[in-house]
Amino acid sequence: MTTDERRDRLRDLVKDRGFAALGELASQLSVSESTIRRDLEMLEEAGLARRTHGGVYWTGDSDTISVFESRNDDFWAAKQSIGRAASELIADHDTILLDGGSTVYELARLIVHRPLQVVTNSLPVAHLLSTSDSIDLVMIGGCVRGRTSVTIGPLADSQLANIHVTTAFLSVAGVSPRGFFNSDMMLVESEKAMLASAERGIVLADHSKFGKTSLSRICELHQIDTVVTDDGLDSDAKAWLESAGVQLRLAQSPQKTLAPAPTASPSNSSPTHSLNNANLS
């Protein structure tokens, strides 16, 4: 097997599994772990994988489910930074809910290797996390919105009404002094059900979303516990959130980031909850 063939095979293995241990990859490819580490550096530099202690997880696109064509937009680097900052708010073994927004998907890419219980209505998120041996995954059913690949509607809402999670992470189309907004009315109803199922609600939104409204309001500002955004947020928006009692977490812009964000410590997060105690009927 040539070096190029080995690296192609390595790429396929990591992609298929979602997360793989270094020892497994070395055994599968009949090379040393030091060789695997060198090969993984190339995958990481290409943005296709990220190494973690003892292994590597896939961060590239999926071949089977369309994810987000907007990955080339002007705010994608900010969304990635927001995802990293949000991942620090999750403790191992937490039970969390992820919606189908593009910024929340960036968060999902960072937790695929962690021991968590995850509820989602997003087909791309479910596909990404389904290969992880460390994640207990619950997929919400319902009508599938083709454009965004999320499940919504009465069936989704009824399932959400019988689930309890520690934290719901939501993306939004707009944030104003009047609250948080999205353009799809059926999606908004499902997002309201998500918030009702959670002990705390966290909104992930880059600074371009602030000062905007949309067709339907999800909730008022004070009904969200924390907003994670980038440090391009202006002072007026900071004032709205502060006056509403919302905690604000600013993700550092990529050009200002000097080191990878640390992994969350359970002592800095709210108590965990098990889906074994949730009523999923």
pLDDT at 274 (0 to 100): 36
Task: State the residue for tokens 């993306």.
Answer: 171
Among the listed ranges 43-57, 158-172, 250-264, which one has the minimum average pLDDT value?
A: 250-264
Does 134 lie in the same domain as 76? yes
**Domain of 90?**
66-250
pLDDT at 14 (0 to 100): 82
Q: How many residues does the chain have?
A: 281
Asked if the structure places residue 19 within a domain, the reply is yes
DSSP string, the chain: --HHHHHHHHHHHHHHHSEEEHHHHHHHHTS-HHHHHHHHHHHHHTTSEEEETTEEEE-S--SSS---GGGGSTTHHHHHHHHHHHHTT--TT-EEEE-S-HHHHHHHHHHTTS-EEEEESBHHHHHHHTT-SSEEEEE--SEEETTTTEEESHHHHHHHTT--EEEEEEE-SEEETTEEEES-HHHHHHHHHHHHTEEEEEEE--GGGBT---SEEEE-GGG-SEEEEETT--HHHHHHHHHTT-EEEEEPPGGG--SPPPPPPGGGSPPP--GGGS---
Mean pLDDT, to the nearest integer, of 225-233? 96
CA neighbor of 193 nearest in space, from 222, 168, 160, 170: 160
Q: Which residue has the higher pLDDT, 146 or 166?
A: 166
Last residue of a domain, one of 43, 60, 77: 60
CB 111 within 8 A of CB 91: no
- Could you read off the pLDDT of 240-268 as tens digits, one per residue? 999 999 999 999 876 544 444 444 444 34
pLDDT band (50, 70, 90) for residue 61: low
Does 164 lie in the same domain as 82? yes
- Could you read off the pLDDT of 170-188 as tens digits, one per residue? 999 999 999 999 999 999 9
- Does the predicted TM-score (pTM) go above 0.75? no
Does 157 lie in the same domain as 229? yes
pLDDT at 156 (0 to 100): 95
State the amino acid at position 143 in one-letter form: C
CATH of the domain at 7: 1.10.10.10
Q: How many domains does the chain have?
A: 2
**pLDDT value at 217 more than 90:** yes
pLDDT band (50, 70, 90) for residue 62: low
pLDDT at 254 (0 to 100): 61
Does 184 lie in the same domain as 95? yes
- Could you read off the pLDDT of 183-215 as tens digits, one per residue? 999 999 999 999 999 999 999 999 999 999 999
Asked if the structure places residue 12 within a domain, the reply is yes
- Could you read off the pLDDT of 124-161 as tens digits, one per residue? 899 888 878 899 999 999 999 877 889 999 999 999 99
Does 136 lie in the same domain as 75? yes
Backbone φ, ψ for residue 26 (5° rounding): -65, -40
- Mean pLDDT over the full length of the chain: 84
**pLDDT value at 66 more than 70:** no
Rounded to whole angstroms, the Cα distance separating 141 from 157 reads: 9
Asked if the structure places residue 112 within a domain, the reply is yes
Does 90 lie in the same domain as 135? yes
Does 49 lie in the same domain as 154? no
